[in-house]
Structure 1
Amino acid sequence: MTDRLTRALALIDAANSADPTAEEGLPAALLYGQRMSRELARLFPDASEILQIAARGQHIERWLLPRGNYPDGKEGYLAWRREQARRHADRVSDLMAKAGYGQDECARVGVLLRKEGLKRDPEVQALEDVICFTFLRWYFQPFAASRDPAEVARIVTQTARKMSADARARALAEFTLPEQLAAAFRV
Protein backbone atom coordinates (compact mmCIF):
# COMPACT_ATOMS: atom_id res chain seq x y z
CA MET A 1 0.00 0.00 0.00
CA THR A 2 1.42 3.36 -0.99
CA ASP A 3 1.77 6.21 1.49
CA ARG A 4 -0.81 8.31 -0.29
CA LEU A 5 -3.32 5.42 -0.35
CA THR A 6 -2.77 4.94 3.39
CA ARG A 7 -3.34 8.68 3.91
CA ALA A 8 -6.46 8.77 1.74
CA LEU A 9 -8.06 5.80 3.53
CA ALA A 10 -7.16 7.30 6.92
CA LEU A 11 -8.79 10.60 5.93
CA ILE A 12 -11.95 8.80 4.81
CA ASP A 13 -12.02 6.80 8.03
CA ALA A 14 -11.55 9.95 10.10
CA ALA A 15 -14.48 11.61 8.33
CA ASN A 16 -16.67 8.53 8.78
CA SER A 17 -15.71 8.23 12.44
CA ALA A 18 -17.95 11.23 13.11
CA ASP A 19 -21.09 9.25 12.22
CA PRO A 20 -23.40 9.58 15.24
CA THR A 21 -25.06 6.23 14.48
CA ALA A 22 -23.30 3.23 15.99
CA GLU A 23 -23.32 -0.32 14.69
CA GLU A 24 -21.45 -3.11 16.45
CA GLY A 25 -19.82 -0.49 18.66
CA LEU A 26 -18.41 1.54 15.75
CA PRO A 27 -19.65 4.56 13.83
CA ALA A 28 -21.91 3.02 11.17
CA ALA A 29 -20.25 4.79 8.20
CA LEU A 30 -16.80 3.71 9.38
CA LEU A 31 -17.94 0.11 9.68
CA TYR A 32 -19.59 0.25 6.25
CA GLY A 33 -16.38 1.55 4.66
CA GLN A 34 -14.35 -1.20 6.31
CA ARG A 35 -16.80 -3.82 5.10
CA MET A 36 -16.62 -2.42 1.58
CA SER A 37 -12.82 -2.62 1.65
CA ARG A 38 -12.93 -6.24 2.86
CA GLU A 39 -15.38 -7.24 0.12
CA LEU A 40 -13.29 -5.44 -2.50
CA ALA A 41 -10.12 -7.22 -1.37
CA ARG A 42 -11.92 -10.55 -1.48
CA LEU A 43 -13.65 -10.07 -4.84
CA PHE A 44 -11.01 -7.97 -6.64
CA PRO A 45 -7.64 -8.51 -4.92
CA ASP A 46 -5.80 -6.58 -7.66
CA ALA A 47 -8.04 -3.49 -7.45
CA SER A 48 -6.45 -0.17 -8.35
CA GLU A 49 -5.83 2.44 -5.69
CA ILE A 50 -8.66 4.53 -7.12
CA LEU A 51 -11.10 1.63 -6.80
CA GLN A 52 -9.88 0.96 -3.25
CA ILE A 53 -10.52 4.59 -2.33
CA ALA A 54 -13.93 4.61 -4.01
CA ALA A 55 -14.98 1.49 -2.12
CA ARG A 56 -13.89 2.90 1.23
CA GLY A 57 -15.52 6.28 0.59
CA GLN A 58 -18.69 5.08 -1.12
CA HIS A 59 -20.91 6.32 1.76
CA ILE A 60 -18.64 9.00 3.18
CA GLU A 61 -20.54 11.19 5.65
CA ARG A 62 -23.83 9.87 4.33
CA TRP A 63 -25.64 10.84 7.53
CA LEU A 64 -25.12 14.54 6.75
CA LEU A 65 -27.85 14.38 4.10
CA PRO A 66 -30.74 12.40 5.59
CA ARG A 67 -33.19 10.64 3.30
CA GLY A 68 -35.96 12.50 5.13
CA ASN A 69 -34.77 15.76 3.54
CA TYR A 70 -36.27 14.56 0.25
CA PRO A 71 -39.86 13.75 -0.70
CA ASP A 72 -41.24 10.26 -0.22
CA GLY A 73 -41.48 7.99 -3.22
CA LYS A 74 -39.23 6.90 -6.03
CA GLU A 75 -38.49 10.38 -7.42
CA GLY A 76 -37.46 11.70 -4.01
CA TYR A 77 -35.34 8.63 -3.36
CA LEU A 78 -33.56 8.89 -6.71
CA ALA A 79 -32.91 12.62 -6.21
CA TRP A 80 -31.45 11.88 -2.77
CA ARG A 81 -29.22 9.12 -4.18
CA ARG A 82 -27.95 11.36 -7.00
CA GLU A 83 -27.10 14.12 -4.54
CA GLN A 84 -25.40 11.66 -2.21
CA ALA A 85 -23.29 10.32 -5.09
CA ARG A 86 -22.31 13.86 -6.08
CA ARG A 87 -21.44 14.77 -2.49
CA HIS A 88 -19.49 11.56 -1.94
CA ALA A 89 -17.51 12.12 -5.14
CA ASP A 90 -16.67 15.71 -4.20
CA ARG A 91 -15.71 14.85 -0.62
CA VAL A 92 -13.55 11.85 -1.51
CA SER A 93 -11.88 13.83 -4.31
CA ASP A 94 -11.00 16.59 -1.83
CA LEU A 95 -9.53 14.07 0.61
CA MET A 96 -7.57 12.38 -2.17
CA ALA A 97 -6.05 15.71 -3.16
CA LYS A 98 -4.99 16.24 0.47
CA ALA A 99 -3.38 12.79 0.38
CA GLY A 100 -1.33 13.69 -2.70
CA TYR A 101 -3.40 12.45 -5.64
CA GLY A 102 -3.56 14.47 -8.85
CA GLN A 103 -6.52 16.07 -10.55
CA ASP A 104 -7.07 13.19 -13.01
CA GLU A 105 -7.10 10.61 -10.22
CA CYS A 106 -9.53 12.71 -8.20
CA ALA A 107 -11.77 13.07 -11.24
CA ARG A 108 -11.64 9.32 -11.83
CA VAL A 109 -12.83 8.49 -8.32
CA GLY A 110 -15.78 10.79 -8.98
CA VAL A 111 -16.72 8.75 -12.05
CA LEU A 112 -16.71 5.60 -9.94
CA LEU A 113 -18.70 7.10 -7.05
CA ARG A 114 -21.30 8.60 -9.36
CA LYS A 115 -21.45 5.20 -11.11
CA GLU A 116 -20.96 6.72 -14.54
CA GLY A 117 -20.60 3.91 -17.05
CA LEU A 118 -22.20 1.11 -15.09
CA LYS A 119 -22.12 -2.06 -17.23
CA ARG A 120 -19.57 -0.37 -19.56
CA ASP A 121 -16.67 0.63 -17.29
CA PRO A 122 -15.05 -2.37 -15.55
CA GLU A 123 -14.08 -0.42 -12.43
CA VAL A 124 -17.52 1.17 -12.05
CA GLN A 125 -19.00 -2.31 -12.42
CA ALA A 126 -16.55 -3.76 -9.90
CA LEU A 127 -17.55 -1.08 -7.39
CA GLU A 128 -21.24 -1.85 -7.97
CA ASP A 129 -20.59 -5.57 -7.49
CA VAL A 130 -18.81 -4.85 -4.20
CA ILE A 131 -21.70 -2.63 -3.08
CA CYS A 132 -24.18 -5.40 -3.83
CA PHE A 133 -22.11 -8.05 -2.04
CA THR A 134 -21.71 -5.79 1.00
CA PHE A 135 -25.47 -5.26 1.05
CA LEU A 136 -26.22 -8.98 0.72
CA ARG A 137 -23.63 -10.05 3.31
CA TRP A 138 -24.18 -7.42 5.99
CA TYR A 139 -27.43 -5.51 5.46
CA PHE A 140 -29.92 -7.68 3.59
CA GLN A 141 -31.27 -9.70 6.54
CA PRO A 142 -32.26 -6.74 8.73
CA PHE A 143 -33.50 -4.85 5.67
CA ALA A 144 -35.69 -7.73 4.50
CA ALA A 145 -37.06 -8.41 7.98
CA SER A 146 -38.69 -4.98 8.13
CA ARG A 147 -40.29 -4.98 4.67
CA ASP A 148 -43.09 -6.55 2.73
CA PRO A 149 -41.96 -9.69 0.84
CA ALA A 150 -43.07 -8.23 -2.51
CA GLU A 151 -40.95 -5.12 -1.89
CA VAL A 152 -37.98 -7.31 -0.92
CA ALA A 153 -38.36 -9.34 -4.13
CA ARG A 154 -38.46 -6.14 -6.21
CA ILE A 155 -35.34 -4.74 -4.51
CA VAL A 156 -33.43 -8.01 -4.86
CA THR A 157 -34.32 -8.07 -8.56
CA GLN A 158 -33.06 -4.49 -8.97
CA THR A 159 -29.87 -5.36 -7.07
CA ALA A 160 -29.21 -8.41 -9.23
CA ARG A 161 -29.75 -6.38 -12.42
CA LYS A 162 -26.97 -3.99 -11.43
CA MET A 163 -24.47 -6.81 -10.89
CA SER A 164 -22.19 -8.36 -13.48
CA ALA A 165 -22.95 -11.90 -14.65
CA ASP A 166 -19.90 -13.18 -12.76
CA ALA A 167 -21.02 -11.46 -9.56
CA ARG A 168 -24.55 -12.86 -9.87
CA ALA A 169 -23.16 -16.39 -10.28
CA ARG A 170 -20.85 -15.88 -7.33
CA ALA A 171 -23.71 -14.53 -5.21
CA LEU A 172 -25.73 -17.67 -5.93
CA ALA A 173 -22.79 -19.78 -4.77
CA GLU A 174 -22.10 -17.75 -1.63
CA PHE A 175 -25.54 -16.82 -0.31
CA THR A 176 -28.49 -18.98 0.62
CA LEU A 177 -31.53 -17.21 -0.78
CA PRO A 178 -35.11 -18.41 -1.02
CA GLU A 179 -35.84 -19.70 -4.54
CA GLN A 180 -38.04 -16.74 -5.49
CA LEU A 181 -35.16 -14.38 -4.68
CA ALA A 182 -32.39 -16.60 -6.10
CA ALA A 183 -34.20 -16.60 -9.45
CA ALA A 184 -33.32 -12.92 -9.88
CA PHE A 185 -29.62 -13.83 -9.95
CA ARG A 186 -30.05 -16.39 -12.72
CA VAL A 187 -31.07 -13.83 -15.35
Structure 2
Amino acid sequence: MSAKFEQAIALIDEKNAQDLNREIDNGKSVPKELLYSQRMTACLLDYMPTASEALQIAARAQHICRWEIPRNEYPMTKAGYMNWRNDLKKMHANLAGDILESVGYDSEFVERVQFLISKKSFKKDPDSQTLEDVVCLVFLQYYFEDFATKHDNEKLIDILQKTWNKMSDAAHKNALTIPFSEDTADLIKQALA
Protein backbone atom coordinates (compact mmCIF):
# COMPACT_ATOMS: atom_id res chain seq x y z
CA MET A 1 0.00 0.00 0.00
CA SER A 2 1.01 3.60 -0.55
CA ALA A 3 2.60 5.93 2.00
CA LYS A 4 -0.63 7.99 1.87
CA PHE A 5 -2.57 4.88 2.86
CA GLU A 6 -0.30 4.20 5.84
CA GLN A 7 -0.60 7.84 6.96
CA ALA A 8 -4.40 7.77 6.63
CA ILE A 9 -4.71 4.58 8.69
CA ALA A 10 -2.41 6.02 11.38
CA LEU A 11 -4.49 9.21 11.56
CA ILE A 12 -7.76 7.26 11.78
CA ASP A 13 -6.27 5.16 14.57
CA GLU A 14 -5.03 8.30 16.33
CA LYS A 15 -8.59 9.69 16.32
CA ASN A 16 -10.12 6.42 17.51
CA ALA A 17 -7.50 6.04 20.24
CA GLN A 18 -9.09 9.12 21.88
CA ASP A 19 -12.23 7.11 22.72
CA LEU A 20 -12.70 7.09 26.51
CA ASN A 21 -15.04 4.10 26.24
CA ARG A 22 -13.01 0.96 26.85
CA GLU A 23 -13.25 -2.73 26.06
CA ILE A 24 -11.19 -5.61 27.33
CA ASP A 25 -9.38 -7.46 24.56
CA ASN A 26 -7.01 -10.29 25.48
CA GLY A 27 -6.94 -9.02 29.05
CA LYS A 28 -6.01 -5.47 28.03
CA SER A 29 -8.20 -2.34 28.22
CA VAL A 30 -8.33 -0.61 24.82
CA PRO A 31 -10.35 2.26 23.31
CA LYS A 32 -13.62 0.79 22.06
CA GLU A 33 -13.65 2.35 18.58
CA LEU A 34 -9.96 1.67 17.99
CA LEU A 35 -10.61 -2.00 18.69
CA TYR A 36 -13.69 -1.97 16.45
CA SER A 37 -11.74 -0.42 13.57
CA GLN A 38 -8.94 -2.97 13.92
CA ARG A 39 -11.50 -5.79 13.94
CA MET A 40 -13.07 -4.32 10.79
CA THR A 41 -9.70 -4.32 9.02
CA ALA A 42 -8.83 -7.86 10.12
CA CYS A 43 -12.23 -9.18 9.07
CA LEU A 44 -12.11 -7.38 5.72
CA LEU A 45 -8.66 -8.72 4.87
CA ASP A 46 -9.71 -12.23 5.88
CA TYR A 47 -12.95 -11.98 3.89
CA MET A 48 -11.47 -10.17 0.86
CA PRO A 49 -7.65 -10.11 0.85
CA THR A 50 -7.64 -8.10 -2.42
CA ALA A 51 -9.73 -5.21 -1.00
CA SER A 52 -8.89 -1.85 -2.55
CA GLU A 53 -7.28 1.00 -0.61
CA ALA A 54 -10.60 2.86 -0.65
CA LEU A 55 -12.47 -0.12 0.81
CA GLN A 56 -9.81 -0.71 3.46
CA ILE A 57 -9.91 2.93 4.55
CA ALA A 58 -13.73 2.95 4.59
CA ALA A 59 -13.69 -0.13 6.83
CA ARG A 60 -11.15 1.41 9.18
CA ALA A 61 -13.07 4.72 9.38
CA GLN A 62 -16.51 3.09 9.66
CA HIS A 63 -16.99 4.28 13.27
CA ILE A 64 -14.39 7.06 13.48
CA CYS A 65 -15.09 9.16 16.60
CA ARG A 66 -18.51 7.51 17.00
CA TRP A 67 -18.67 8.52 20.67
CA GLU A 68 -18.94 12.18 19.70
CA ILE A 69 -22.62 11.72 18.78
CA PRO A 70 -24.19 9.75 21.67
CA ARG A 71 -27.32 7.70 21.02
CA ASN A 72 -29.02 9.19 24.09
CA GLU A 73 -29.10 12.62 22.43
CA TYR A 74 -31.85 11.32 20.12
CA PRO A 75 -35.36 10.07 20.89
CA MET A 76 -35.46 6.36 21.82
CA THR A 77 -37.69 5.61 18.85
CA LYS A 78 -37.09 4.01 15.47
CA ALA A 79 -37.06 7.47 13.85
CA GLY A 80 -34.62 8.71 16.51
CA TYR A 81 -32.38 5.71 15.89
CA MET A 82 -32.40 6.28 12.11
CA ASN A 83 -31.60 10.00 12.52
CA TRP A 84 -28.71 9.11 14.85
CA ARG A 85 -27.34 6.58 12.36
CA ASN A 86 -27.60 9.04 9.46
CA ASP A 87 -25.86 11.78 11.42
CA LEU A 88 -23.09 9.33 12.35
CA LYS A 89 -22.56 8.32 8.71
CA LYS A 90 -22.22 11.98 7.70
CA MET A 91 -19.74 12.64 10.52
CA HIS A 92 -17.69 9.51 9.72
CA ALA A 93 -17.58 10.42 6.02
CA ASN A 94 -16.58 14.03 6.74
CA LEU A 95 -13.83 13.08 9.21
CA ALA A 96 -12.46 10.43 6.84
CA GLY A 97 -12.56 12.95 3.97
CA ASP A 98 -10.60 15.54 5.98
CA ILE A 99 -7.93 12.95 6.84
CA LEU A 100 -7.65 11.72 3.25
CA GLU A 101 -7.32 15.25 1.89
CA SER A 102 -4.67 16.05 4.51
CA VAL A 103 -2.44 13.18 3.34
CA GLY A 104 -2.82 14.01 -0.36
CA TYR A 105 -5.57 11.81 -1.80
CA ASP A 106 -7.41 13.34 -4.76
CA SER A 107 -11.07 14.34 -4.60
CA GLU A 108 -12.24 11.30 -6.61
CA PHE A 109 -10.66 8.91 -4.09
CA VAL A 110 -12.01 10.91 -1.12
CA GLU A 111 -15.53 10.85 -2.60
CA ARG A 112 -15.31 7.10 -3.17
CA VAL A 113 -14.40 6.45 0.48
CA GLN A 114 -17.16 8.78 1.64
CA PHE A 115 -19.64 7.02 -0.64
CA LEU A 116 -18.65 3.64 0.85
CA ILE A 117 -18.98 4.92 4.42
CA SER A 118 -22.43 6.32 3.64
CA LYS A 119 -23.62 2.81 2.61
CA LYS A 120 -26.19 4.29 0.22
CA SER A 121 -26.07 1.56 -2.45
CA PHE A 122 -24.80 -1.52 -0.69
CA LYS A 123 -27.01 -3.90 -2.69
CA LYS A 124 -25.87 -2.38 -6.01
CA ASP A 125 -22.20 -1.48 -5.46
CA PRO A 126 -19.89 -4.51 -4.90
CA ASP A 127 -17.51 -2.68 -2.53
CA SER A 128 -20.43 -1.25 -0.56
CA GLN A 129 -21.88 -4.76 -0.24
CA THR A 130 -18.51 -6.07 0.92
CA LEU A 131 -18.31 -3.33 3.55
CA GLU A 132 -21.84 -4.16 4.74
CA ASP A 133 -20.89 -7.86 4.85
CA VAL A 134 -17.89 -7.05 7.04
CA VAL A 135 -19.96 -4.82 9.35
CA CYS A 136 -22.40 -7.71 9.83
CA LEU A 137 -19.67 -10.33 10.29
CA VAL A 138 -17.88 -8.20 12.90
CA PHE A 139 -21.17 -7.66 14.73
CA LEU A 140 -21.95 -11.38 14.73
CA GLN A 141 -18.46 -12.47 15.74
CA TYR A 142 -17.60 -9.88 18.38
CA TYR A 143 -20.71 -8.07 19.57
CA PHE A 144 -23.81 -10.23 19.20
CA GLU A 145 -23.26 -12.38 22.30
CA ASP A 146 -23.08 -9.33 24.58
CA PHE A 147 -26.01 -7.73 22.75
CA ALA A 148 -28.01 -10.93 23.31
CA THR A 149 -27.75 -10.60 27.10
CA LYS A 150 -29.76 -7.35 26.95
CA HIS A 151 -32.71 -8.45 24.78
CA ASP A 152 -35.36 -11.16 24.59
CA ASN A 153 -35.29 -13.94 21.99
CA GLU A 154 -38.02 -12.38 19.84
CA LYS A 155 -35.99 -9.15 19.45
CA LEU A 156 -32.77 -11.14 18.84
CA ILE A 157 -34.34 -13.26 16.11
CA ASP A 158 -35.63 -10.09 14.44
CA ILE A 159 -32.15 -8.50 14.60
CA LEU A 160 -30.54 -11.67 13.22
CA GLN A 161 -33.01 -11.79 10.33
CA LYS A 162 -32.41 -8.11 9.48
CA THR A 163 -28.64 -8.63 9.69
CA TRP A 164 -28.84 -11.74 7.50
CA ASN A 165 -30.91 -9.89 4.87
CA LYS A 166 -28.17 -7.25 4.49
CA MET A 167 -25.49 -9.85 3.77
CA SER A 168 -24.42 -11.49 0.52
CA ASP A 169 -24.41 -15.27 0.00
CA ALA A 170 -20.62 -15.28 0.50
CA ALA A 171 -21.03 -13.54 3.85
CA HIS A 172 -23.74 -16.03 4.88
CA LYS A 173 -21.28 -18.87 4.29
CA ASN A 174 -18.58 -17.02 6.21
CA ALA A 175 -20.93 -16.29 9.12
CA LEU A 176 -21.78 -19.96 9.50
CA THR A 177 -18.09 -20.69 10.20
CA ILE A 178 -18.01 -18.37 13.26
CA PRO A 179 -17.69 -20.43 16.46
CA PHE A 180 -20.92 -19.28 18.12
CA SER A 181 -22.07 -20.37 21.56
CA GLU A 182 -24.77 -23.03 21.61
CA ASP A 183 -27.42 -20.42 22.54
CA THR A 184 -26.45 -18.13 19.66
CA ALA A 185 -26.31 -21.03 17.20
CA ASP A 186 -29.84 -21.99 18.27
CA LEU A 187 -31.06 -18.40 17.79
CA ILE A 188 -29.51 -18.28 14.32
CA LYS A 189 -31.25 -21.55 13.39
CA GLN A 190 -34.57 -20.11 14.55
CA ALA A 191 -33.93 -16.85 12.68
CA LEU A 192 -33.13 -18.66 9.43
CA ALA A 193 -35.96 -21.20 9.68
Tell me, which stretches of 5 or more residues in structure 1 are unaligned? none
Residues 28-177 of structure 1 mapped to structure 2, 5 A cutoff? 28-176=32-180, 177=184
Residue aligning to 2:20? 20
* Contact residue 36 and residue 55 of structure 1 kept, 8 A: yes
Q: For 2:105 and 2:192, locate their aligned partners in 1 and report how far apart those are by CA, in whole Å.
A: 37
- Partner SS for 2:114: helix
CA offsets 1:129-172 (integer angstroms, 9 cap, x no match): 11011111111110111111111111111101100111112212
Contact 2:97 2:114 in 1 (8 A): yes
- Note the alpha carbon deviations across 1:59-107, whole angstroms, 9 max, x for none: 0000000001111111100110011011101110110111211101111
Q: CA deviation at 1:183?
A: 5.2
Question: TM-score scaled to structure 2, two decimals?
Answer: 0.92
SS of equivalent to 1:60: coil
CA distance in 2, matches of 1:134, 1:180: 17
Alpha-carbon distance change, 76 to 16 in structure 1, aligned in 2, over 3 angstroms:
same
Alignment-mate amino acid for residue 20 of structure 1:
L
Report the Cα offset of residue 180 of structure 1.
4.3
1:178 is matched with 185
For these two proteins, the number of residue pairs brought into alignment is 186
**Unaligned residue ranges in structure 2 (runs of 5+):** none
Give the letter aligned to residue 137 of structure 1: Q
> Which residue type is aligned with residue 21 of structure 1?
N
Q: Distance in 1 between matches of 2:8 and 2:192?
A: 34
Structure 1 residue 182: Cα displacement: 3.2
User: Could you say what the CA RMSD is over the residues aligned between the two structures, in angstroms?
Assistant: 1.3
Cα contact 1:19–1:27 (8 A) shared by 2: yes
Percent pairwise identity = 40
